[in-house]
Structures are given as structure tokens and as C-alpha cells.
Amino acid sequence: MSDSQIRLPDGRALGYAEYGDPQGKPVVFFTGAPSSRFLHPPIEPTEALGARLVVLERPGFGLSDFQPRRTLLDWPDDVAAAADALKLWRFAVAGISAGGPYAAACAYKIPQRLTRVAIISGVGPMDLPGALEEMPKVRQLGTRVARTAPWLLTPILWLASNPHRDPERFYERMLSGNSDADRALLSRPEMKAMLLRNYLEATRAGMRGFARDSVIVSSPWGFSPADIAAPVYLWHGEDDANVSLSAARHLAEAIPNCQARFLPGEGHWLILGHWEEILSELLA
């Protein structure tokens, strides 16, 4: 792994890490929330398939400077600038969980830069009927606060979802919101070590980045999925207990050039067992 910062045209720093083959086909990866450059799919398939995986940290996470009042459609501009700095003209993007809307935004706004797009266990549009009710109670509460009193979100997250206060308790709470299949995966010592390191790094500068990200994914996207021109591959577990299944199905139907796979028995972390297949599609 190599990690560093990119200086954007407006002076902000954007943190990133690279995995896999430095000379390989580029794939830019967007994590969930809160997450950092330390969260990555399995390394062996990344190396074996010859991919150059670039994990970008959104503003306020890890090494990336906070950006007040940012919106979902600001992100593709940061991605394009980062790609320019890394000398990537065309590349694939993949977004997992809360990174899914950001992958969709890139597919909408900068399709000319993209080869393919993957949305994996992604958060769908949250303004769809019933989408909120399908999420865990704690996420429902967080979404309602993000919509109605966003100024309260930073102190609430500091109290309730801050890994620096008690990492072990934070991880146990995070586990409790997952399906049985996911809990089995995330209870593995190597997964716990990676994820705890990831969450601690993501919130190194506090909870503002997490709060702003929560507001963004809880709000209307600002564009229609029907206007996405880039080819999209959508993967979603039918036993995903973290995000709305119906919103993911809506997204799969709304995006014109979308190939979707809904996997029975798979949860939110299906990427751990299916990354080789997902990456093969992205690199084809």
C-alpha cells in the first residue's frame, strides 16, 4: 500500500491510498461512511487481475480536508482533479454502501472519464417511499436528524458513533446492525483489525466529515438516475440489513445501462466474497 495526499485546484487536500498493480488498469474506489483509505476490498484478486486500485477519502475523512456545504455533485469534480493529478484519463469507479451515491454521481456528471461503474451494497435514493423504513432503527433516526436538524448531527455522532471514545463498544454496536452472514464475516480477527483501524482513521479530525456525509446521502441526489449514461454494474445482497433493498431495485431499474445482480443469502459485505467477479466486470 502507498498513501498520500493530492492538492486540489482550490487548495484542499484529498487523501488516498493505492493497492494492487501500480501499472495496472485504474479503478477508483469510494468507501462507505465513516471510512478512510484503509478500507479496501481483498488484495489478492486486485493484484491477480492487474488492477491499480485508488481509494479516495471524501472531505472530512482521514487525510482529506473538510469541505463545508459540499453536495453530492461536488464529488465528481474532486475525482476528476484527483485523476488528473494521478495521470489517469479514463478509469473505472466503484462505490460501496454510502459510496454508492458518489459512484452514481460520477456516472452522471463525468461519464466521458469513466470506463465502467460498480455500485456495491449501495445506498439508494432515500426520498423513495418506504426506503427509510427498511433501514435499521438507529439509521432511521440518524437520517431524520440529518434531514430536520443537521446542526445536531455532529454532537450526536460524537456521542453515539465515535470510535475514539470506546473502539470495542463502537465495533460491537456496528456489528449488531448487520445480518447474521455479515456478523460472521466481521467477527473474524483480521476484519475487525482492518475495520477498527479504518474507522479510527476516518474520524481522526472529528465527526464533521461523517455528519456532512450523512446529510448528503439522506438528501435528494440532485439528478435523476435515468440520466446516467455510463454503464453501471449493481451488486446487492438480498439479506442486506444496512440499506434499503427496494431503493437498490429502483436504482437498477432506473439507470438505462445497468446490469444488476441481487444475491440471495448475501448481506451488506458481499464485496468480501465477490470482489473478483466485480473487479473482472470493471476491468473487462
51 grid coordinates: 488492477
Query: Can you give the pLDDT at residue 145?
Result: 64
Cα distance from N-terminal residue to C-terminal residue, the chain: 24
Q: Which residues pair with 173 in a beta bridge?
A: none
| Domain 2-283, CATH | 3.40.50.1820
Domains of the chain, residue spans: 2-283
102 grid coordinates: 458518489
Q: In this structure, are residues 142 and 108 in contact, taking their beta carbons and an 8 Å threshold?
A: no
Residue 131 backbone dihedrals phi, psi, to 5 degrees: -65, -40
Q: In this structure, are residues 259 and 235 in contact, taking their beta carbons and an 8 Å threshold?
A: no
pTM equals 0.93
Q: What is the mean pLDDT of each run of 10 residues along the chain (284 residues)?
A: 86 97 97 95 96 98 95 98 96 97 98 98 79 64 68 73 86 82 90 94 93 91 95 96 90 95 95 97 94
Helix (H, G, I), strand (E, B) or coil at 38: coil
Q: 185 exposed, middle or buried (CB, 10 Å; 0-12, 13-18, 19+)?
A: middle
Query: Can you give the pLDDT at residue 163?
Result: 86
Q: Which residues contact 128 (CB under 8 A, 6 or more apart)?
A: 244, 246, 247, 250
**Distance (Å, whole) CA 200 – CA 270:** 23
Instruction: State pLDDT tens for residues 51-62.
Output: 999 999 999 999
Query: Can you give the pLDDT at residue 3?
Result: 73
Q: Which residues pair with 118 in a beta bridge?
A: 94, 233
Q: In this structure, are residues 38 and 201 in contact, taking their beta carbons and an 8 Å threshold?
A: yes
